[in-house]
Amino acid sequence: MGNSFPTTQASRRQPSALKIKRVYEEAGREDGFRILVDRLWPRGLAKERAAVDLWLKEIAPSDDLRKWYGHEPEKWPGFKKRYFSELRGHRELVETIMTKARKGPLTLLFGSKEERYNNAVALKEFIEGELSGKPAAL
């Protein structure tokens, strides 16, 4: 298995609903447990309206990686590779998300206007790979 996290029968199951959503969108019952995965709190958003259950700012990409990427789509493959490497160094935080995902619906929240190429999209891919026992390749 190399650098991947240990898997058990329970951890190989896909979560009932692991999704991503802009934190500015209205919270819904189907969201389940809501985790904000950005380093900075979203601009102009009151904590009550955000309905965030957990803010895991430490799981966000490093400042250096975020600045390098700059939301340039052509850098997306390189961003994911580097971010996945960072995530492997944050075992405890990844396990926190995986544990919540095994328990029921989970929504990873992000603030970016870019909805296809952002850290929450990459994190979802990484978590789903770990949960399925097929870790994302570096």
Secondary-structure breakdown of the chain: helix, strand, coil percentages, each rounded to the nearest 5:
45, 10, 40
Please tell me the pTM assigned to this model. Answer: 0.86
No. of H helices and E strands in the chain?
6, 4
- Distance CA(94)–CA(86), nearest Å, equals 11
pLDDT (tens digit per residue) in 83-114: 999 999 999 999 999 999 999 999 999 999 99
Which residues are registered as beta bridge partners of 107? 19, 34
Give me the pLDDT at residue 21, please.
Answer: 97
